Protein backbone atom coordinates (compact mmCIF):
# COMPACT_ATOMS: atom_id res chain seq x y z
CA UNK A 1 0.00 0.00 0.00
CA UNK A 2 1.14 3.54 -0.75
CA UNK A 3 0.72 4.72 2.85
CA UNK A 4 3.34 2.17 3.95
CA UNK A 5 6.03 3.52 1.59
CA UNK A 6 7.34 6.26 3.95
CA UNK A 7 7.71 3.74 6.78
CA UNK A 8 9.53 1.26 4.55
CA UNK A 9 11.80 3.98 3.18
CA UNK A 10 12.64 5.14 6.70
CA UNK A 11 13.38 1.56 7.77
CA UNK A 12 15.68 1.07 4.76
CA UNK A 13 17.81 4.14 5.52
CA UNK A 14 18.09 3.16 9.17
CA UNK A 15 19.33 -0.29 8.18
CA UNK A 16 23.12 -0.31 8.34
CA UNK A 17 23.13 3.16 9.87
CA UNK A 18 22.76 4.98 6.56
CA UNK A 19 20.69 7.72 8.22
CA UNK A 20 23.32 8.20 10.94
CA UNK A 21 26.13 8.27 8.38
CA UNK A 22 24.33 10.90 6.30
CA UNK A 23 23.68 12.95 9.44
CA UNK A 24 27.36 12.74 10.33
CA UNK A 25 28.40 13.58 6.77
CA UNK A 26 26.08 16.60 6.79
CA UNK A 27 27.67 17.86 9.99
CA UNK A 28 31.17 17.27 8.64
CA UNK A 29 30.47 19.24 5.44
CA UNK A 30 28.92 22.35 7.06
CA UNK A 31 32.33 24.12 7.05
CA UNK A 32 32.51 23.37 3.32
CA UNK A 33 29.02 24.85 2.91
CA UNK A 34 30.15 27.99 4.73
CA UNK A 35 33.30 28.19 2.63
CA UNK A 36 31.05 28.05 -0.45
CA UNK A 37 29.05 30.92 1.07
CA UNK A 38 32.30 32.84 1.58
CA UNK A 39 33.38 32.33 -2.03
CA UNK A 40 29.92 33.12 -3.40
CA UNK A 41 29.50 36.21 -1.15
CA UNK A 42 31.84 38.22 -3.34
CA UNK A 43 29.58 38.01 -6.40
CA UNK A 44 26.41 39.74 -5.12
CA UNK A 45 28.30 41.98 -2.69
CA UNK A 46 30.97 43.42 -5.02
CA UNK A 47 28.58 45.99 -6.62
CA UNK A 48 27.48 47.06 -3.12
CA UNK A 49 31.07 47.39 -1.87
CA UNK A 50 32.10 49.41 -4.94
CA UNK A 51 29.07 51.69 -4.78
CA UNK A 52 30.03 55.24 -3.74
CA UNK A 53 27.09 55.27 -1.32
CA UNK A 54 27.77 51.74 -0.12
CA UNK A 55 28.88 50.57 3.35
CA UNK A 56 32.62 50.56 2.58
CA UNK A 57 34.38 53.55 4.23
CA UNK A 58 36.80 53.91 1.29
CA UNK A 59 36.84 52.97 -2.37
CA UNK A 60 37.09 49.25 -3.19
CA UNK A 61 38.86 48.97 -6.54
CA UNK A 62 38.87 46.13 -9.07
CA UNK A 63 42.39 45.30 -7.95
CA UNK A 64 41.16 44.87 -4.37
CA UNK A 65 38.39 42.57 -5.60
CA UNK A 66 40.93 40.56 -7.60
CA UNK A 67 43.08 40.08 -4.52
CA UNK A 68 40.05 39.11 -2.46
CA UNK A 69 39.27 36.36 -4.96
CA UNK A 70 42.80 35.01 -5.29
CA UNK A 71 44.31 35.41 -1.80
CA UNK A 72 41.94 32.76 -0.43
CA UNK A 73 43.87 30.10 -2.33
CA UNK A 74 47.32 31.37 -1.31
CA UNK A 75 47.61 30.02 2.28
CA UNK A 76 46.56 26.46 1.30
CA UNK A 77 49.55 26.27 -1.05
CA UNK A 78 51.84 26.20 1.97
CA UNK A 79 49.73 25.01 4.90
CA UNK A 80 47.88 22.14 3.22
CA UNK A 81 50.67 19.73 4.19
CA UNK A 82 50.57 20.90 7.81
CA UNK A 83 46.80 20.52 8.01
CA UNK A 84 47.10 16.90 6.91
CA UNK A 85 49.74 16.26 9.56
CA UNK A 86 47.53 18.01 12.13
CA UNK A 87 44.61 15.75 11.22
CA UNK A 88 46.82 12.68 11.67
CA UNK A 89 48.17 13.89 15.04
CA UNK A 90 45.19 15.64 16.67
CA UNK A 91 42.34 13.93 14.86
CA UNK A 92 39.77 14.71 12.19
CA UNK A 93 37.24 16.11 14.67
CA UNK A 94 39.50 18.73 16.26
CA UNK A 95 40.85 19.82 12.87
CA UNK A 96 37.29 20.24 11.59
CA UNK A 97 36.47 22.41 14.62
CA UNK A 98 39.57 24.52 13.93
CA UNK A 99 38.38 24.90 10.33
CA UNK A 100 35.08 26.37 11.55
CA UNK A 101 37.00 28.62 13.97
CA UNK A 102 39.01 30.07 11.06
CA UNK A 103 35.76 30.75 9.21
CA UNK A 104 34.34 32.54 12.26
CA UNK A 105 37.45 34.72 12.51
CA UNK A 106 37.27 35.50 8.79
CA UNK A 107 33.63 36.65 8.97
CA UNK A 108 34.20 38.62 12.20
CA UNK A 109 36.99 40.63 10.54
CA UNK A 110 34.57 41.58 7.76
CA UNK A 111 31.87 42.45 10.29
CA UNK A 112 34.19 44.90 12.08
CA UNK A 113 35.80 46.52 9.05
CA UNK A 114 35.14 46.85 5.32
CA UNK A 115 38.39 48.60 4.49
CA UNK A 116 40.44 46.98 1.69
CA UNK A 117 43.11 45.62 4.05
CA UNK A 118 40.41 44.02 6.25
CA UNK A 119 38.57 42.43 3.32
CA UNK A 120 41.79 40.96 1.95
CA UNK A 121 42.98 39.83 5.40
CA UNK A 122 39.61 38.19 6.00
CA UNK A 123 40.03 36.18 2.80
CA UNK A 124 43.58 35.21 3.74
CA UNK A 125 42.31 33.80 7.07
CA UNK A 126 39.59 31.97 5.14
CA UNK A 127 42.42 30.36 3.14
CA UNK A 128 43.38 28.47 6.31
CA UNK A 129 39.82 27.18 6.47
CA UNK A 130 40.07 26.29 2.79
CA UNK A 131 43.00 23.99 3.57
CA UNK A 132 40.97 22.37 6.34
CA UNK A 133 37.94 21.84 4.11
CA UNK A 134 39.79 20.34 1.19
CA UNK A 135 42.13 18.14 3.24
CA UNK A 136 40.19 16.94 6.28
CA UNK A 137 36.60 16.71 5.00
CA UNK A 138 37.26 14.07 2.29
CA UNK A 139 39.20 12.00 4.86
CA UNK A 140 36.41 12.28 7.42
CA UNK A 141 33.75 11.27 4.88
CA UNK A 142 35.74 8.27 3.70
CA UNK A 143 36.45 6.97 7.19
CA UNK A 144 32.85 7.08 8.46
CA UNK A 145 31.18 5.60 5.37
CA UNK A 146 30.03 2.06 4.67
CA UNK A 147 31.12 0.64 1.34
CA UNK A 148 27.64 0.93 -0.19
CA UNK A 149 27.41 4.70 0.43
CA UNK A 150 31.08 5.66 0.25
CA UNK A 151 30.79 7.44 -3.09
CA UNK A 152 27.49 9.16 -2.21
CA UNK A 153 28.91 10.54 1.04
CA UNK A 154 32.13 11.58 -0.70
CA UNK A 155 30.18 13.56 -3.31
CA UNK A 156 28.47 15.54 -0.51
CA UNK A 157 31.70 17.53 -0.35
CA UNK A 158 31.05 19.43 -3.58
CA UNK A 159 27.28 19.38 -3.05
CA UNK A 160 27.70 21.29 0.23
CA UNK A 161 30.04 23.80 -1.39
CA UNK A 162 27.58 24.46 -4.22
CA UNK A 163 24.68 24.70 -1.77
CA UNK A 164 26.69 27.39 0.02
CA UNK A 165 27.01 29.32 -3.23
CA UNK A 166 23.26 29.17 -3.85
CA UNK A 167 22.33 30.10 -0.27
CA UNK A 168 24.43 33.28 -0.33
CA UNK A 169 23.22 34.18 -3.86
CA UNK A 170 19.58 33.99 -2.72
CA UNK A 171 20.35 35.75 0.58
CA UNK A 172 22.19 38.51 -1.28
CA UNK A 173 19.11 39.08 -3.44
CA UNK A 174 16.63 39.09 -0.54
CA UNK A 175 18.46 40.40 2.56
CA UNK A 176 20.43 43.49 3.45
CA UNK A 177 24.22 43.61 3.30
CA UNK A 178 24.55 43.42 7.10
CA UNK A 179 21.98 40.63 7.44
CA UNK A 180 23.88 38.47 4.95
CA UNK A 181 27.11 38.97 6.91
CA UNK A 182 25.46 37.93 10.18
CA UNK A 183 23.91 34.88 8.49
CA UNK A 184 27.29 33.80 7.12
CA UNK A 185 28.91 34.28 10.55
CA UNK A 186 26.21 32.34 12.40
CA UNK A 187 26.70 29.14 10.36
CA UNK A 188 30.24 28.25 11.56
CA UNK A 189 29.46 29.44 15.11
CA UNK A 190 26.48 27.08 15.38
CA UNK A 191 28.49 24.31 13.73
CA UNK A 192 31.24 24.52 16.33
CA UNK A 193 28.68 24.11 19.13
CA UNK A 194 26.78 21.24 17.46
CA UNK A 195 29.85 19.37 16.22
CA UNK A 196 31.12 18.83 19.76
CA UNK A 197 28.53 16.04 20.06
CA UNK A 198 29.78 14.25 16.92
CA UNK A 199 32.19 11.28 17.19
CA UNK A 200 35.76 11.05 15.92
CA UNK A 201 36.32 8.61 13.06
CA UNK A 202 36.71 4.97 14.23
CA UNK A 203 39.87 4.65 12.13
CA UNK A 204 41.62 7.46 14.03
CA UNK A 205 40.40 6.16 17.40
CA UNK A 206 41.89 2.74 16.65
CA UNK A 207 45.12 4.45 15.67
CA UNK A 208 45.12 6.11 19.12
CA UNK A 209 44.50 2.79 20.85
CA UNK A 210 41.01 3.84 21.97
CA UNK A 211 39.34 0.61 20.91
CA UNK A 212 36.23 0.92 23.09
CA UNK A 213 35.59 4.47 21.86
CA UNK A 214 36.10 3.30 18.28
CA UNK A 215 33.62 0.47 18.85
CA UNK A 216 31.03 2.89 20.26
CA UNK A 217 31.51 5.38 17.41
CA UNK A 218 31.24 2.66 14.77
CA UNK A 219 28.15 1.16 16.48
CA UNK A 220 26.41 4.55 16.25
CA UNK A 221 27.45 5.04 12.63
CA UNK A 222 26.19 1.55 11.69
CA UNK A 223 23.10 1.83 13.94
CA UNK A 224 23.86 -1.40 15.76
CA UNK A 225 24.98 -2.63 19.19
CA UNK A 226 28.61 -2.67 20.31
CA UNK A 227 28.58 -6.48 20.49
CA UNK A 228 27.41 -6.94 16.90
CA UNK A 229 29.48 -9.61 15.11
CA UNK A 230 29.93 -7.65 11.88
CA UNK A 231 30.98 -4.56 13.82
CA UNK A 232 33.54 -6.56 15.77
CA UNK A 233 34.99 -7.91 12.50
CA UNK A 234 35.27 -4.37 11.15
CA UNK A 235 37.10 -3.26 14.30
CA UNK A 236 39.46 -6.23 14.04
CA UNK A 237 40.28 -5.31 10.44
CA UNK A 238 41.13 -1.77 11.60
CA UNK A 239 43.33 -3.15 14.39
CA UNK A 240 45.20 -5.46 12.02
CA UNK A 241 45.72 -2.62 9.57
CA UNK A 242 47.03 -0.37 12.35
CA UNK A 243 49.33 -3.14 13.64
CA UNK A 244 50.66 -3.62 10.11
CA UNK A 245 51.20 0.13 9.73
CA UNK A 246 53.11 0.28 13.03
CA UNK A 247 55.29 -2.65 11.99
CA UNK A 248 56.40 -0.73 8.94
CA UNK A 249 58.51 2.37 8.75
CA UNK A 250 56.70 5.67 9.04
CA UNK A 251 55.08 6.77 5.79
CA UNK A 252 57.35 9.22 3.98
CA UNK A 253 57.61 10.61 0.49
CA UNK A 254 60.48 8.19 -0.05
CA UNK A 255 58.31 5.20 0.85
CA UNK A 256 55.55 6.53 -1.41
CA UNK A 257 57.89 6.83 -4.39
CA UNK A 258 59.66 3.50 -3.80
CA UNK A 259 56.44 1.46 -3.73
CA UNK A 260 55.41 1.14 -7.39
CA UNK A 261 51.69 0.65 -6.72
CA UNK A 262 51.44 3.55 -4.30
CA UNK A 263 53.41 5.85 -6.59
CA UNK A 264 51.21 4.91 -9.55
CA UNK A 265 48.13 5.71 -7.44
CA UNK A 266 49.77 9.01 -6.45
CA UNK A 267 50.32 9.98 -10.11
CA UNK A 268 46.70 9.16 -10.89
CA UNK A 269 45.45 11.26 -7.96
CA UNK A 270 47.56 14.26 -8.99
CA UNK A 271 46.55 14.03 -12.65
CA UNK A 272 42.80 13.72 -12.07
CA UNK A 273 42.82 16.57 -9.56
CA UNK A 274 44.91 18.81 -11.81
CA UNK A 275 42.68 18.18 -14.83
CA UNK A 276 39.68 19.05 -12.67
CA UNK A 277 41.21 22.25 -11.28
CA UNK A 278 42.58 23.52 -14.62
CA UNK A 279 39.48 22.81 -16.70
CA UNK A 280 38.43 26.48 -16.69
CA UNK A 281 35.37 26.04 -14.51
CA UNK A 282 36.27 29.15 -12.49
CA UNK A 283 36.55 31.18 -15.71
CA UNK A 284 33.06 30.07 -16.80
CA UNK A 285 31.64 31.19 -13.46
CA UNK A 286 33.46 34.53 -13.69
CA UNK A 287 32.27 35.08 -17.27
CA UNK A 288 28.67 33.93 -16.68
CA UNK A 289 27.28 37.48 -16.43
CA UNK A 290 28.89 38.45 -19.75
CA UNK A 291 27.41 35.37 -21.40
CA UNK A 292 23.95 36.29 -20.11
CA UNK A 293 24.44 39.88 -21.26
CA UNK A 294 25.46 38.96 -24.80
CA UNK A 295 22.72 36.33 -25.05
CA UNK A 296 20.08 38.90 -24.05
CA UNK A 297 20.88 40.84 -27.24
CA UNK A 298 19.33 38.13 -29.42
CA UNK A 299 16.88 36.33 -27.12
CA UNK A 300 14.36 37.53 -24.57
CA UNK A 301 16.52 36.89 -21.51
CA UNK A 302 16.46 39.86 -19.17
CA UNK A 303 17.83 38.91 -15.76
CA UNK A 304 19.39 41.07 -13.09
CA UNK A 305 22.94 40.28 -12.02
CA UNK A 306 21.71 38.62 -8.80
CA UNK A 307 19.12 36.54 -10.67
CA UNK A 308 21.87 35.36 -13.03
CA UNK A 309 24.05 34.18 -10.17
CA UNK A 310 21.05 32.40 -8.61
CA UNK A 311 20.46 30.53 -11.88
CA UNK A 312 24.13 29.50 -11.97
CA UNK A 313 24.02 28.42 -8.33
CA UNK A 314 20.86 26.37 -8.87
CA UNK A 315 22.45 24.55 -11.82
CA UNK A 316 25.53 23.81 -9.72
CA UNK A 317 23.44 22.42 -6.90
CA UNK A 318 21.32 20.30 -9.26
CA UNK A 319 24.46 18.78 -10.75
CA UNK A 320 25.82 17.99 -7.27
CA UNK A 321 22.55 16.29 -6.28
CA UNK A 322 22.68 14.18 -9.43
CA UNK A 323 26.26 13.19 -8.60
CA UNK A 324 25.28 12.05 -5.10
CA UNK A 325 22.42 9.96 -6.51
CA UNK A 326 24.23 8.21 -9.36
CA UNK A 327 27.86 7.84 -8.26
CA UNK A 328 27.19 4.46 -6.61
CA UNK A 329 25.39 3.19 -9.72
CA UNK A 330 27.69 4.44 -12.47
CA UNK A 331 30.99 3.99 -10.66
CA UNK A 332 33.77 6.56 -10.45
CA UNK A 333 35.72 6.00 -13.67
CA UNK A 334 32.96 6.42 -16.25
CA UNK A 335 31.18 9.22 -14.41
CA UNK A 336 34.47 11.13 -14.35
CA UNK A 337 35.17 10.43 -18.04
CA UNK A 338 31.66 11.32 -19.27
CA UNK A 339 31.37 14.57 -17.31
CA UNK A 340 34.88 15.58 -18.33
CA UNK A 341 33.91 15.04 -21.98
CA UNK A 342 30.66 17.01 -21.55
CA UNK A 343 32.57 19.87 -19.89
CA UNK A 344 35.11 19.88 -22.74
CA UNK A 345 32.42 19.96 -25.43
CA UNK A 346 30.70 22.84 -23.62
CA UNK A 347 33.97 24.78 -23.41
CA UNK A 348 34.59 24.16 -27.11
CA UNK A 349 31.08 25.37 -27.98
CA UNK A 350 31.59 28.55 -25.94
CA UNK A 351 34.96 29.22 -27.58
CA UNK A 352 33.54 28.63 -31.06
CA UNK A 353 30.55 30.91 -30.38
CA UNK A 354 32.73 33.79 -29.17
CA UNK A 355 35.16 33.35 -32.09
CA UNK A 356 32.46 33.23 -34.77
CA UNK A 357 30.53 36.19 -33.35
CA UNK A 358 33.79 38.18 -33.15
CA UNK A 359 33.89 37.89 -36.97
CA UNK A 360 30.53 39.74 -37.11
CA UNK A 361 28.68 36.53 -37.94
CA UNK A 362 25.33 36.18 -36.18
CA UNK A 363 24.64 33.12 -34.05
CA UNK A 364 21.64 32.57 -31.77
CA UNK A 365 22.12 33.73 -28.18
CA UNK A 366 20.76 30.53 -26.67
CA UNK A 367 23.89 28.65 -27.81
CA UNK A 368 26.32 30.10 -25.22
CA UNK A 369 23.67 29.98 -22.47
CA UNK A 370 23.00 26.29 -23.15
CA UNK A 371 26.72 25.52 -23.37
CA UNK A 372 27.42 27.38 -20.12
CA UNK A 373 24.59 25.59 -18.30
CA UNK A 374 25.77 22.19 -19.58
CA UNK A 375 29.33 23.00 -18.51
CA UNK A 376 28.28 24.01 -14.99
CA UNK A 377 25.95 21.00 -14.63
CA UNK A 378 28.44 18.42 -15.94
CA UNK A 379 31.24 19.79 -13.81
CA UNK A 380 29.14 19.66 -10.64
CA UNK A 381 27.67 16.24 -11.55
CA UNK A 382 31.01 14.48 -11.76
CA UNK A 383 34.10 16.37 -12.87
CA UNK A 384 34.34 18.26 -9.54
CA UNK A 385 33.31 15.68 -6.87
CA UNK A 386 34.58 12.38 -8.33
CA UNK A 387 38.34 13.19 -8.15
CA UNK A 388 37.99 13.76 -4.39
CA UNK A 389 36.25 10.40 -4.00
CA UNK A 390 38.89 8.61 -6.10
CA UNK A 391 41.78 10.26 -4.24
CA UNK A 392 40.40 9.22 -0.84
CA UNK A 393 39.93 5.63 -2.05
CA UNK A 394 43.34 5.16 -3.68
CA UNK A 395 45.38 5.15 -0.47
CA UNK A 396 45.57 3.40 2.86
CA UNK A 397 45.39 5.33 6.14
CA UNK A 398 49.18 5.43 6.15
CA UNK A 399 49.48 7.65 3.06
CA UNK A 400 45.97 9.13 2.73
CA UNK A 401 46.46 12.29 4.79
CA UNK A 402 49.87 13.04 3.30
CA UNK A 403 48.73 12.66 -0.31
CA UNK A 404 45.46 14.55 0.22
CA UNK A 405 47.40 17.44 1.75
CA UNK A 406 49.85 17.58 -1.16
CA UNK A 407 47.08 17.44 -3.77
CA UNK A 408 45.20 20.17 -1.90
CA UNK A 409 48.28 22.43 -2.05
CA UNK A 410 48.67 21.82 -5.78
CA UNK A 411 44.98 22.60 -6.35
CA UNK A 412 45.22 25.82 -4.35
CA UNK A 413 48.23 26.94 -6.38
CA UNK A 414 46.32 26.19 -9.58
CA UNK A 415 43.28 28.20 -8.44
CA UNK A 416 45.43 31.13 -7.32
CA UNK A 417 47.29 31.28 -10.64
CA UNK A 418 44.09 30.90 -12.69
CA UNK A 419 42.31 33.78 -10.97
CA UNK A 420 45.32 36.12 -11.12
CA UNK A 421 46.21 35.17 -14.72
CA UNK A 422 42.65 35.41 -16.02
CA UNK A 423 42.69 39.07 -17.11
CA UNK A 424 46.19 38.99 -18.70
CA UNK A 425 45.30 35.75 -20.50
CA UNK A 426 42.03 37.22 -21.70
CA UNK A 427 43.78 40.30 -23.14
CA UNK A 428 46.57 38.24 -24.71
CA UNK A 429 44.55 35.46 -26.35
CA UNK A 430 40.93 36.59 -26.37
CA UNK A 431 38.10 34.81 -24.57
CA UNK A 432 37.50 32.36 -27.43
CA UNK A 433 41.03 30.93 -27.28
CA UNK A 434 40.86 30.77 -23.50
CA UNK A 435 37.77 28.55 -23.68
CA UNK A 436 39.25 26.42 -26.47
CA UNK A 437 42.42 25.94 -24.44
CA UNK A 438 40.38 24.78 -21.46
CA UNK A 439 38.41 22.40 -23.66
CA UNK A 440 41.70 20.71 -24.62
CA UNK A 441 42.45 20.22 -20.91
CA UNK A 442 39.03 18.57 -20.45
CA UNK A 443 39.56 16.26 -23.44
CA UNK A 444 42.94 15.25 -22.03
CA UNK A 445 41.21 14.52 -18.70
CA UNK A 446 38.68 12.33 -20.50
CA UNK A 447 41.39 10.37 -22.33
CA UNK A 448 43.40 9.93 -19.13
CA UNK A 449 40.35 8.73 -17.16
CA UNK A 450 39.49 6.12 -19.80
CA UNK A 451 43.04 4.86 -20.24
CA UNK A 452 44.59 4.94 -16.76
CA UNK A 453 42.11 5.68 -13.96
CA UNK A 454 40.97 2.45 -12.23
CA UNK A 455 37.42 1.86 -11.05
CA UNK A 456 37.57 2.21 -7.26
CA UNK A 457 33.90 1.54 -6.49
CA UNK A 458 33.42 -1.35 -4.03
CA UNK A 459 37.14 -2.14 -4.07
CA UNK A 460 39.65 -2.19 -1.26
CA UNK A 461 43.07 -0.54 -1.55
CA UNK A 462 44.64 -3.98 -2.13
CA UNK A 463 42.22 -4.76 -4.95
CA UNK A 464 42.81 -1.37 -6.56
CA UNK A 465 46.58 -1.84 -6.42
CA UNK A 466 46.28 -5.35 -7.86
CA UNK A 467 44.26 -3.82 -10.69
CA UNK A 468 46.94 -1.16 -11.24
CA UNK A 469 49.69 -3.77 -11.26
CA UNK A 470 48.26 -6.36 -13.65
CA UNK A 471 45.76 -4.24 -15.60
CA UNK A 472 43.04 -6.92 -15.39
CA UNK A 473 39.65 -6.02 -13.97
CA UNK A 474 38.66 -8.20 -11.05
CA UNK A 475 34.92 -8.16 -10.73
CA UNK A 476 34.73 -10.42 -7.69
CA UNK A 477 35.94 -9.15 -4.38
CA UNK A 478 38.04 -11.28 -2.06
CA UNK A 479 36.03 -13.69 0.01
CA UNK A 480 36.43 -12.68 3.64
CA UNK A 481 34.64 -15.78 4.90
CA UNK A 482 37.29 -18.00 3.30
CA UNK A 483 40.01 -16.28 5.25
CA UNK A 484 41.10 -13.55 2.86
CA UNK A 485 41.16 -10.26 4.67
CA UNK A 486 40.02 -7.09 3.00
CA UNK A 487 41.19 -3.77 4.39
CA UNK A 488 38.58 -1.04 4.07
CA UNK A 489 40.88 1.55 5.51
Distance in angstroms (rounded) separating the CA atoms of residues 164 and 107: 15
- Please write the tens of the pLDDT for every residue from 166-177: 999 899 888 999
Q: Sort 302 into a burial class: Cβ within 10 Å, 0-12 / 13-18 / 19+.
A: exposed
- Could you tell me which of 237, 213, 234 has the C-alpha nearest to residue 222? 234
CA dist 242 → 50, 66, 235, 443, 461 (Å): 55, 46, 11, 40, 14
Q: Rounded distance, CA 310 to CA 169, Å?
A: 6
pLDDT score of 200 more than 60: yes
**Domains along the sequence of the chain with CATH:** 18-198 (1.20.1250.20), 248-474 (1.20.1250.20)
Cα(92)–Cα(214) distance, integer angstroms:
13
pLDDT confidence tier of residue 295, bands split at 50, 70 and 90 = low
**SS3 track for the chain:** CHHHHHHHHHHHHHHHHHHHHHHHHHHHCHHHHHHHHHHHHHHHHHHHHHCCCCCCCCCCCHHHHHHHHHHCCCHHHHHHHHHHHHHHHHCHHHHHHHHHHHHHHHHHHHHHCCCHHHHHHHHHHHHHHHHHHHHHHHHHHHHHCCHHHHHHHHHHHHHHHHHHHHHHHHHHHHCCHHHHHHHHHHHHHHHHHHHCCCCCCHHHHHHCCCHHHHHHHHHHHHCCCCCCHHHHHHHHHHHHHHHHHHHCCCCCHHHHHHCHHHHHHHHHHHHHHHHHHCCCHHHHHHHHHHHHHHHCCCCCCCCCHHHHHHHHHHHHHHHHHHHHHHHHHHCHHHHHHHHHHHHHHHHHHHHHHHHHHHCCCCCCCHHHHHHHHHHHHHHHHHHCHHHHHHHHHCCCHHHHHHHHHHHHHHHHHHHHHHHHHHHHHHHHHCHHHHHHHHHHHHHHHHHHHHHHCCCCCCCCHHHHHHHHHHCCCCCCCCCHHHCCCCCCC
Check residue 8 and give its pLDDT.
41
Averaged pLDDT for residues 100-129: 94
Give 306-312 contacts, CB < 8 A, sequence gap 24+: 306/44, 306/169, 306/172, 306/173, 307/173, 309/40, 309/43, 309/44, 309/169, 309/172, 310/166, 310/169, 310/170, 310/173, 312/165, 312/169, 312/285, 312/288, 312/376
Residue pLDDT, tens place only, 317-367: 999 888 888 887 888 899 999 999 999 999 999 899 889 988 888 888 788
pLDDT digits (tens, 9 = 90+) for 414-465: 877 777 777 777 778 888 898 899 999 999 999 999 999 999 887 878 888 8
User: Is the predicted pLDDT of residue 40 greater than 60, yes or no?
Assistant: yes
Q: Tell me what percent of the residues of the chain surpass a pLDDT of 90.
A: 28
What is the share, in percent, of the chain residues with pLDDT greater than 70? 88
Q: What is the mean pLDDT of the chain?
A: 83
Residue 241 has pLDDT above 90, yes or no: no
The model's confidence at residue 486, banded by pLDDT at 50, 70 and 90, is very low
pLDDT bucket at 286, cuts 50 / 70 / 90: low
* Main-chain dihedrals φ then ψ at residue 478, nearest 5 degrees: -65, 145
- Averaged pLDDT, 117-144: 89
Question: In which band, very low, low, confident or very high, does the pLDDT at 52 lie, cut at 50, 70 and 90?
Answer: confident
Look at residue 62 and tell me whether its pLDDT is greater than 70: yes
Amino acid sequence: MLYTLPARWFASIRQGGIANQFLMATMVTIPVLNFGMLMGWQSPMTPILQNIDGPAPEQITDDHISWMGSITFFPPIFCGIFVGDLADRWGRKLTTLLTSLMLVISWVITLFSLRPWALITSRAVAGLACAGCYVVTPLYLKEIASDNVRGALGSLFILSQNLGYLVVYVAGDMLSFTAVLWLCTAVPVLHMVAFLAMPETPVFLVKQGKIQEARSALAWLRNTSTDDKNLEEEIQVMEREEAYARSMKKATWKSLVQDKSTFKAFRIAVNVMLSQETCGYLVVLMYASSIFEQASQSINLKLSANKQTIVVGAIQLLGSIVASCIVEKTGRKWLLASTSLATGLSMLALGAWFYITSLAIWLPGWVPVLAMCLCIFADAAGFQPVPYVITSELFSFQHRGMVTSFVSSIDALSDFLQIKAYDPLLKLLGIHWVFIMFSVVCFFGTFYAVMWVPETKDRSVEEIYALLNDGRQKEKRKDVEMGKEISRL
